[in-house]
Amino acid sequence: VLFLCMGHGMSAQFLERHPVPASVRIIDLSHDFRLKSNAGDFVYGLPELNRERIRGAWHVANPGCFATAIELGLLPLAKSGLLPAHVSVFGITGATGAGQKPTEETHYSHRAQNLSVYKVFSHQHLAEIREILAGLDEDVQADIAFVPVRGCHARGIMVNAVFASERDLSEIRSMYAACYEGHPFTVMSDEPVYLKQVVNTNYCFVHVEQQDRNVLVTSVIDNLLKGASGQAVQNMNLMFGLEETAGLGLKASYF
């Protein structure tokens, strides 16, 4: 198996210059093969959505970190045909979630005791999020207003998705529980979730609450594990017929 962990745009160039034997499986962690328009035979590597396709895949495109957190927060709605026409999403990420190249905004002396928004309504992960969710519910165009925030912590993503629904909370929670039954790393929580529950693990914790018609779905992941290398290992396990959780029995920094 070959893991491609280079910057965005470099994986496709590498494969053009260096043909890989057909017997070698590939897992790419860049955005080069996530969209259908340039995916070729790459399968989108979100196990909670494509587990069986990943099992038979030779090439897998690992999802983005924000994409993973947002999709796992909204996937049950899309699968049930209940994704609202408009969803507002506010997400905050740690300093390690900003790619490989150091910048002033990723330097911890800038981020400590500080918050700032960036790429408002235009984050690069929106394309794959919209494509995945719209593919599950063709009647919805997946209008997602996403505001990403640079956090003052090192690692971890918290995403809050807000939308209106006429359905009651117990029905929504049951829908989420059914969607993630049998998936070892996505856990429904009856209590509000926080980053320390998932940092240093491959887990995604999801919590749903409601006030009147307003619904809030909160999802938390470690951007370096479930949002990157941990999910890549999870995909490798599926591709090679190993136990899905192999090598990923990691404890949270708070337990």
The rounded distance, in Å, linking the Cα atoms of 170 and 114 is 37
Which one of 5, 65, 179, 204 is the catalytic residue?
Answer: 65
Residues 30 and 121 placed together within one structural domain of the fold: no
**Lowest-pLDDT range of 5-9, 48-52, 57-61, 100-104:** 100-104
Q: Which amino acid is at 196?
A: K
**CATH code, domain carrying 183:** 3.30.360.10
- pLDDT one-digit tens code per residue, 135-144: 776 666 668 9
What distance lies between CA 234 and its chain's CA centroid?
A: 13
Decide if 146 is inside a domain: yes
Residues 157, 97 within the same domain: yes
In this predicted structure, what is the pLDDT of residue 100? 65
CA 197 to chain centre: 16
Residue 120, pLDDT > 90, answer: no
Indicate if 50 and 26 belong to the same structural domain: yes
| 65 tagged catalytic | yes
**DSSP per-residue letters across 86-134:** EEEEEEEE-GGGS-SS--TTTSHHHHTT--EE-STTT-TTHHHHHHHHH
Average confidence (pLDDT) over 54-69: 97
Question: H/E element holding 73?
Answer: helix 65-79
d(Cα 65, Cα 202) in Å, to the nearest integer?
12
25 lies in which domain range?
A: 2-63+228-239
Tell the residue number behind the tokens 């069986």, with chain if given.
Answer: 52
- DSSP letter at 243 equals -
Do 157 and 214 belong to one domain? Answer: yes
Identify whether 252 is part of a domain.
Answer: no
251 domain-assigned: no
The better pLDDT of the pair 101, 225 is held by 225
User: Could you tell me the pTM of the whole model?
Assistant: 0.94
Between 1-10, 15-24, 135-144, 237-246, the lowest mean confidence (pLDDT) is in 135-144
